[in-house]
Structure 1
Amino acid sequence: MTIQTDKLIDILWQAAEAEIMPRFGKLGDGDIREKSEAIDLVTEADEAAERLIAREIAALMPNALFVGEESVAADPALLGKLGAADLAIVVDPVDGTFNFANGVPLFGVMMSVVKGGETVAGIILDPFAGDCHVAEKGAGAWAVPLDGERKRLSLGAGLPVEEMLGAASTGYMYGEERVSLLSNLAKVRSFFSYRCAAHEYRLLAKGGMQFALYNKLMPWDHLAGALLAQEAGGHAARFDGSAYLPSHTEGGLLVATDRDSWQALRDTIFPNITMAA
């Protein structure tokens, strides 16, 4: 099957224009709900956008398993089917929902294509910038504006650990593990969190920073971004060095400009984690 990337991009633009952007800054109290905790939210935009995307995917790829963040919230068993699916479409309709719900324009729409347990395409759309970042396995990573020419993306050259800038999501680490990580992260030049993996991966893929670190692995948050970084020349692996696969929800994810930079950073911030054989 040929990956119909252009058609998938069109579907995401439809969702952004019809269901997401008209609601930005206009949500009422009843349009925002908590899921697992106060910082884990869902809005009417998330649900409406996912319904539109699911409907269009069913027409375009009727045999594909659809795994959306909100679909899994309603039917958790869907997540366990992803690794064995011949073809699956994984969607985060609004990545950065906390930002979106609070009127902060740092959110995106993410989609990945999984074939036989492997991510083969990823799309991260920014409705405000008017473009998306797209990767296809073996074909590179590209910035694709709504109007204009594609531009190849590259993470650029690696830097020593003490000069690295990156994103680190530590909200789902606890106790001594979190204390140790934060202490070791002090050895890099600077780190931050946008509370939006979509924008962090976009910045990484165009060389604006040198690493990204995540502990919680939900496929809609990371499959597209990990592939984007890899196709832009970077290296992505779980904390123990093992490959990151669509079926993984644990083990953390570290992404860096190249394999050597990944190893140096990993040894600095996780010195006590044993490397996989």
Structure 2
Amino acid sequence: MTSPVNIETLAGILADAADTEIMPRFRNLGDRDVRQKTSAVDLVTEADEAAERLIKARCAEAFPDALFIGEESVAADPALLPRLAEAELAIVVDPIDGTANFAAGLPAFGVMASVVAKGETVGGLLYDPFCKDFLLAEKGAGAFLDRRGQRSRIAVANPVPLDEMVGSGGASYFEKDLQGTIFANLHKLRIVGNYRCAQLEYWAMATGAVHFLFFGKLMPWDHLAGALIVEEAGGMFRRLDGSAYRPRHVGGGLLVATDEASWEVLSREIFGG
């Protein structure tokens, strides 16, 4: 399925925003350039807001029929988010995924965008502003690494037994009882890390560096692009109850695995499903 939004044009918009609004501010933020939103670990910076303004304006010019859903736009107007479920066409953007890392001067953040048509994710982009590389996918067309115009197909890792699995996840957004179950079972895995940046975690998954991911909070700008790219790279994802993950979902947890058998093992052995 070809995305109704030209994916190369959208990629160029993300790259321009990173070059002009994000990277010049990296490790160059003043005290007033960083603010808390809901907590000390939920931050917004002047770079997030400036980058989203640029991306939104450029998308309005290039794709005038698309609803724009940005993380900072929704923070300013929460009524915007429910419109995604009914939109004929929408562009969903996270101007800086990993804002806490960015604000701390850690080089572990990226830019993400997805294209949603009639409730289905049909295009996804992950942008690395350091190497200026993209991961990208369109529904049904495979997933690719674009390294300055040179594209190569990517694929998830081969399945391995549970005790050899390396992956990433965080339990903080799950209910307390489930957190206890997760922590009690993590010893069954080889390595579990957390980048505090979904963009990097999906990048690692889609390129075969890890075997699983799990998330408790499902805001669309954090997951739609990466989940599509992982799926097109041969992996799979479902909410914790086994149901399909859709752009309208903001809860229910998400488990991403290399294949269905691995998903079932992780669901049973880590989450008690």
Q: TM-score, normalised by structure 2?
A: 0.97
Asked if 1:149 is matched to 2:165, the reply is no
- Which residue in 1 is equivalent to 2:163? 162
Q: Which residue, 93, 96, 101 being the options, matches 1:91?
A: 93
User: What is the one-letter code of the residue matched to 2:52?
Assistant: E
Alignment of 1:21-100 (within 5 A): 21-100=23-102
C-alpha deviations, 1:3-23, integer Å up to 9, x for none? 301000000011000100000
Q: CA deviation at 1:75?
A: 0.4
- Which residue in 2 is equivalent to 1:184? 185
Give the Cα–Cα distance (whole angstroms) in 1 for the partners of residues 176 and 116 of structure 2: 35
Alignment of 1:90-239 (within 5 A): 90-146=92-148, 148-239=149-240
User: What is the one-letter code of the residue matched to 1:15?
Assistant: A
- Which residue in 1 is equivalent to 2:259? 258
Checking the alignment, whether the CA contact within 8 Å between 2:174 and 2:253 is kept in structure 1 is: no
Give the Cα–Cα distance (whole angstroms) in 1 for the partners of residues 232 and 205 of structure 2: 12
User: What is the one-letter code of the residue matched to 2:117?
Assistant: K
User: What is the one-letter code of the residue matched to 1:259?
Assistant: E
User: What is the one-letter code of the residue matched to 1:115?
Assistant: A
Identity %: 54
Give the Cα–Cα distance (whole angstroms) in 2 for the partners of residues 96 and 219 of structure 1: 15
C-alpha deviations, 1:87-122, integer Å up to 9, x for none? 000000000000000000000000000000000000
Q: CA deviation at 1:264?
A: 1.0
Give the Cα–Cα distance (whole angstroms) in 1 for the partners of residues 137 and 183 of structure 2: 31
Q: CA deviation at 1:174?
A: 4.4
Structure 1 residue runs of 5 or longer lacking an equivalent are none
2:21 is paired with a residue whose SS is helix
Q: CA deviation at 1:130?
A: 1.7
Q: Which runs of 4+ in 1 moved over 3 A?
A: none
Checking the alignment, whether the CA contact within 8 Å between 2:157 and 2:210 is kept in structure 1 is: no
C-alpha deviations, 1:198-239, integer Å up to 9, x for none? 001001111000000000000000000100110000011000
User: What is the one-letter code of the residue matched to 1:258?
Assistant: D
C-alpha deviations, 1:152-183, integer Å up to 9, x for none? 11003111111100001222234232111111
User: What is the one-letter code of the residue matched to 2:124?
Assistant: G
- Which residue in 2 is equivalent to 1:244? 245
Q: TM-score, normalised by structure 1?
A: 0.96
Give the Cα–Cα distance (whole angstroms) in 2 for the partners of residues 267 and 75 of structure 1: 39
Give the count of matched residue pairs: 271
Give the Cα–Cα distance (whole angstroms) in 1 for the partners of residues 194 and 175 of structure 2: 17
User: What is the one-letter code of the residue matched to 1:110?
Assistant: M
Structure 2 residue runs of 5 or longer lacking an equivalent are none
User: What is the one-letter code of the residue matched to 1:32?
Assistant: V
Give the Cα–Cα distance (whole angstroms) in 2 for the partners of residues 139 and 72 of structure 1: 30
Give the Cα–Cα distance (whole angstroms) in 2 for the partners of residues 116 and 141 of structure 1: 21
Q: Which residue, 19, 28, 31 being the options, matches 1:17?
A: 19
Change in 2 beyond 3 A, CA 1:2/1:85: closer
Give the Cα–Cα distance (whole angstroms) in 1 for the partners of residues 265 and 232 of structure 2: 21
1:82 is paired with a residue whose SS is helix
Give the Cα–Cα distance (whole angstroms) in 1 for the partners of residues 175 and 232 of structure 2: 32
User: What is the one-letter code of the residue matched to 2:193?
Assistant: F
Give the Cα–Cα distance (whole angstroms) in 1 for the partners of residues 89 and 80 of structure 2: 13
